[in-house]
């Protein structure tokens, strides 16, 4: 048994903000009681969380673990170690591996690897179309049976409106969310950053905000037509968020996530440095303001990292040629504290919601995620004020592609508990 003592327990599911002790027995929470109630005995390991926040385990809806196929950039073992270090107890991994996770045998392979060497829970996302090529629908029912929690052709959009409609109709009957990487590829073709004054100044090919919002509009219409659960991945543009707001005002089952880099950085931060290259690209100042407003008022459902490791040989090349994507796990919480909480833009409880009950609701598992007797013992313990410097060379990831290398943070993950076990401790 493990006793988490003296922590400030924050649970958005039950609106709890209190000093409580949590007793874990095996994989489950045995009891939650006011601080000081449990007396420690020999068979109880004690974790003193005095001065720390104890939250439900963080869920990342969007990550790339690169296994199978690109193990030189990341593996399920190294990726989940980095996730645990960032406070995440569960990560949803995108299907754009090699081979693509478009059938039950790849799904089972990922789950087996996670069971054997994973530090966090791994919840695979299956491809929407075969090989994510956008031609025919993938074996979604078989993948659901094997354990996928959603479908997506992430890395690219579901290619056509016709196929997106078919996927949504199918997923509606299975009650699976469809996660869309919203991008009109004809508008985005050859672009390496957001179109605007900065792209013109740098002489780099830009994509307009509409490259994203046109696709969001298409999918919102199709969600209305089909009644499907639609989740917009890494939403970055003001106009896209307006589409999501419209959908929510109509009670459509449409949700969205925002990444820490999109609520922290803007296109003006881009230099000829591939660590600032990701897709969707860093957006305009007014987009960031709109995302911050949505994070505060509930239009945004979750913070997701889009952790996208690329080994140095691939990423350390000129901006035009570098692949899209940056690391995300280890800096997500600290960036959220820095940009959202320490600035008083949102409450601490709302931030915890964006990492826990928010993503759980997107996946339809919100009733399973709370700090209460009988529930899974997944907990994220963090500090609000611990000062630290992110040194990417110390990362648990196999890759080093982070624009936040060397940044000083206030507040950090301190321990991560999965199924009653401390999988990472500062």
Question: Counting contacts by CB under 5 A, is residue 307 touching Zn ion?
Answer: no
Counting every residue written for the chain, the total comes to 426
Q: Which is nearer to Zn ion, 95 or 403 (CB)?
A: 95
Task: Tell me the C-alpha to C-alpha distance, in Å, between residue 64 and each of 30, 69, 109, 208.
Answer: 34, 12, 15, 25
Question: Counting contacts by CB under 5 A, is residue 154 touching Zn ion?
Answer: yes
- The CA distance from 105 to 88, in Å, is 26
Q: Output the smallest distance, CB 400 to Zn ion, in A.
A: 21
Q: Which is nearer to Zn ion, 120 or 308 (CB)?
A: 308
Q: Output the smallest distance, CB 332 to Zn ion, in A.
A: 16
What sign does the dihedral 32-34-36-38 (CA atoms) show? negative
CB 183 within 8 A of CB 279: yes
DSSP assignment of 160-199: -HHHHHHHHHHHHHHT-PEEE----HHHHTT--EE-SHHH
Backbone φ and ψ for 158, nearest 5 degrees, come out as: -65, 125
Question: Counting contacts by CB under 5 A, is residue 257 touching Zn ion?
Answer: no
Question: Counting contacts by CB under 5 A, is residue 277 touching Zn ion?
Answer: no
Q: Which is nearer to Zn ion, 279 or 376 (CB)?
A: 279
What sign does the dihedral 128-131-132-137 (CA atoms) show? negative
CB 405 within 8 A of CB 411: no
The token pair that represents 315 in the structure block: 């990423």
Question: Counting contacts by CB under 5 A, is residue 60 touching Zn ion?
Answer: no
Instruction: Choose the stretch contacting Zn ion; rule: CB under 5 A; options: 100-108, 127-135, 173-181, 255-263.
Output: 173-181
In the block, tokens 């695979």 appear at 124
Instruction: Choose the stretch contacting Zn ion; rule: CB under 5 A; options: 146-154, 221-229, 251-259, 310-318.
Output: 146-154
Q: Output the smallest distance, CB 241 to Zn ion, in A.
A: 17
Question: Counting contacts by CB under 5 A, is residue 370 touching Zn ion?
Answer: no
Q: Which is nearer to Zn ion, 181 or 194 (CB)?
A: 181
Question: Counting contacts by CB under 5 A, is residue 181 touching Zn ion?
Answer: yes
Q: Output the smallest distance, CB 295 to Zn ion, in A.
A: 19
Q: Output the smallest distance, CB 258 to Zn ion, in A.
A: 13
Q: Which is nearer to Zn ion, 30 or 156 (CB)?
A: 156
Q: Output the smallest distance, CB 426 to Zn ion, in A.
A: 30
Q: Output the smallest distance, CB 420 to Zn ion, in A.
A: 33
- The CA distance from 201 to 203, in Å, is 5
Question: Counting contacts by CB under 5 A, is residue 85 touching Zn ion?
Answer: no
**Helix-then-strand count for the chain, H and E:** 14, 18
Using CB under 5 A as the binding rule, the residues of this chain from 118 to 137 that contact Zn ion are: none
Instruction: Choose the stretch contacting Zn ion; rule: CB under 5 A; options: 131-139, 167-175, 177-185, 310-318.
Output: 177-185
**CB atoms closer than 10 angstroms to residue 363:** 22
From residue 377 to residue 396, what is the string marking binding to Zn ion with x (rule CB under 5 A)? --------------------
> Catalytic residue numbers?
306
Please tell me what DSSP assigns to residue 129: B
- The CA distance from 3 to 12, in Å, is 21
Residue nearest to Zn ion as judged by C-beta position:
181
Question: How many residues lie near Zn ion (CB under 5 A)?
Answer: 2
Q: Give the residue among 405, 249, 280, 200 at the shortest CA–CA distance from 288.
A: 280
> Contact residues for Zn ion (CB under 5 A)?
154, 181
């Amino acid at each position: 048994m493990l006793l988490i003592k003296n922590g400030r327990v924050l649970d958005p599911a039950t609106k709890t903000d209190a000093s409580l002790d949590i007793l874990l027995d095996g994989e489950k929470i045995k009891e939650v009681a006011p601080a000081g109630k449990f007396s420690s005995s020999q068979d109880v390991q004690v974790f003193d969380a005095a001065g720390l926040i104890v939250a439900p385990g963080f869920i990342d809806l969007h990550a790339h673990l690169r296994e199978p196929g690109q193990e030189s950039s990341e593996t399920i073992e190294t990726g989940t170690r980095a996730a645990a270090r960032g406070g995440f107890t569960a990560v949803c991994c995108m299907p754009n591996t090699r081979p693509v996770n478009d059938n039950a045998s790849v799904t089972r392979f990922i789950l087996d690897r996670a069971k054997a060497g994973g530090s966090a829970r791994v919840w695979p996302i299956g491809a929407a179309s075969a090989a994510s090529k956008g031609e025919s629908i993938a074996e979604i029912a078989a993948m659901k049976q094997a354990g996928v929690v959603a479908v997506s052709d992430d890395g690219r959009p579901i290619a056509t409106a016709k196929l997106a409609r078919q996927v949504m109709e199918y997923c509606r009957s299975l009650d699976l969310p469809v996660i869309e990487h919203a991008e009109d590829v004809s508008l985005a073709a050859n672009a390496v950053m957001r179109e605007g004054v900065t792209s013109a100044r740098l002489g780099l090919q830009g994509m307009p905000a509409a490259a994203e919002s046109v696709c969001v509009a298409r999918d919102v219409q199709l969600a209305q037509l089909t009644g499907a659960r639609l989740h917009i991945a890494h939403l970055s543009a003001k106009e896209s968020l307006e589409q999501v707001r419209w959908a929510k005002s109509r009670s459509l089952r449409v949700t969205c996530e925002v990444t820490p880099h999109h609520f922290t950085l803007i296109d003006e931060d881009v230099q000829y440095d591939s660590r600032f290259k990701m897709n969707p690209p860093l957006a305009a100042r007014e987009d960031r303001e709109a995302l911050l407003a949505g994070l505060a008022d509930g239009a945004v459902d979750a913070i997701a990292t889009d952790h996208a490791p690329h080994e140095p040989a691939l990423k350390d090349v000129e901006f035009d040629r570098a692949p899209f994507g940056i690391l995300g796990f280890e800096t997500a919480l600290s960036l959220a504290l820095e940009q959202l909480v320490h600035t008083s833009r949102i409450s601490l409880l709302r931030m915890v919601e964006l990492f826990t009950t928010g993503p759980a609701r997107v996946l339809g598992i919100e009733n399973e995620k709370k700090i209460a007797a009988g529930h899974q013992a997944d907990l994220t313990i963090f500090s609000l004020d611990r000062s630290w410097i992110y040194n990417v060379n110390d990362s648990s990831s196999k890759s080093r592609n982070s624009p936040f290398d060397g940044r000083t943070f206030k507040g950090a993950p301190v321990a991560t508990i999965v199924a009653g076990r401390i999988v990472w401790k500062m």
